[in-house]
Amino acid sequence: MNTAVSPDPLAQDFVAFAVDAGVLRFGEFKTKAGRLSPYFFNAGLFDDGAKLGRLAQFYAQRLLASDLQFDMIFGPAYKGITLAAALSIELARLGHNKPFAYNRKEAKDHGEGGTLVGAPVRGRVLIIDDVISAGTSVRESIAMITAAGATPCGVTIALDRQEKAAEGGVDMAWSAVQYVTQQLSLPVVSIAGLADLLQYLQTTSNPAAASHSAAVQAYRERYGV
């Protein structure tokens, strides 16, 4: 019986784009959990208009296909700020004009004051980020959204690492994304995951990228969920 999973075209296009843009790199990288990862995803390298605009297209396509209903977008500082703005622009271009807001790391004591910037935070609020490493940013965002009287309704990320979370150096049985969906009861919409990355490495015609397939597979077998 053939148990192979059919490729997700949007996810495969995104992984190829991230590799070509130099945002998804291969080698040996130490993660926050102290693991040596064979790949590294740095969304801060979506650093020009063309790359950021293309990234926003991927987020928008995935969100519109998910049917997740939301009234506005919230981007936690700092990476979430540009992501929220870019997604808002792309959704408006597609006929879905959504307001967005973000937070400051430090409260402003003059002008309008406070930590929240942008549109009033109300209704069903979608949180946008690049990845979910430990769920800390999501929990902080939930606290700010609920304090404003609004309702967090979901999270969207670019890449789901699909690996076990770690606390105090101990591997958990769940991933950070699973923690958000199960413990915080929020759906998570990701453009691609580690399984999609592995599928790309196993089928790409790029020999430099394909050479890292075994290392990524081994990492997934050790830390994957």
Distance between CA atoms of residues 199 and 39, nearest Å: 14
pLDDT score at 2: 41
Q: Is residue 167 part of a domain?
A: yes
Q: Is residue 92 part of a domain?
A: yes
Domain count within the chain: 1
Q: Is residue 201 part of a domain?
A: yes
Q: Is residue 2 part of a domain?
A: no
Give me 194's structure tokens: 């580690």
Catalytic residue selected from 79, 108, 164, 212: 108
Q: What is the 3-state secondary structure (H, E, C) of the chain?
A: CCCCCCCCHHHHHHHHHHHHCCCEEEEEEECCCCCEEEEEECHHHCCCHHHHHHHHHHHHHHHHHHCCCCCEEEECCCHHHHHHHHHHHHHHHCCCCCCEEEEEEEEECCCCCEEEEECCCCCEEEEECCCCCCCHHHHHHHHHHHHCCCEEEEEEEEEECCEEEEECCEEEEEEHHHHHHHCCCCCEEEEEEHHHHHHHHHHCCCHHHHCCHHHHHHHHHHHEC
Q: Which helix (H) or strand (E) holds 60?
A: helix 49-66
Can you spell out the DSSP letters for 14-35? Answer: HHHHHHHTTSEEEEEEE-TTS-
Concerning whether 110 is annotated as a catalytic residue, the answer is yes
The pTM of the full predicted model, rounded to 2 decimals, is: 0.93
pLDDT score at 1: 39
Residue 23: which CATH number?
3.40.50.2020
Percent of the chain scored above 90 by pLDDT?
83
pLDDT score at 168: 75
pLDDT score at 105: 80
Catalytic residue selected from 51, 79, 96, 110: 110
Give me 195's structure tokens: 């399984």
Q: Is residue 4 part of a domain?
A: no
Domain enclosing residue 175, as ranges: 9-223
Q: Is residue 185 part of a domain?
A: yes
- Name the least confident of 85-94, 107-116, 159-168, 187-196: 107-116
Q: Is residue 3 part of a domain?
A: no
Confidence class for position 34, pLDDT limits 50, 70, 90: confident
- The per-residue pLDDT of the chain, averaged, comes to 92
**Span 88-106, average pLDDT:** 95
Q: Is residue 58 part of a domain?
A: yes
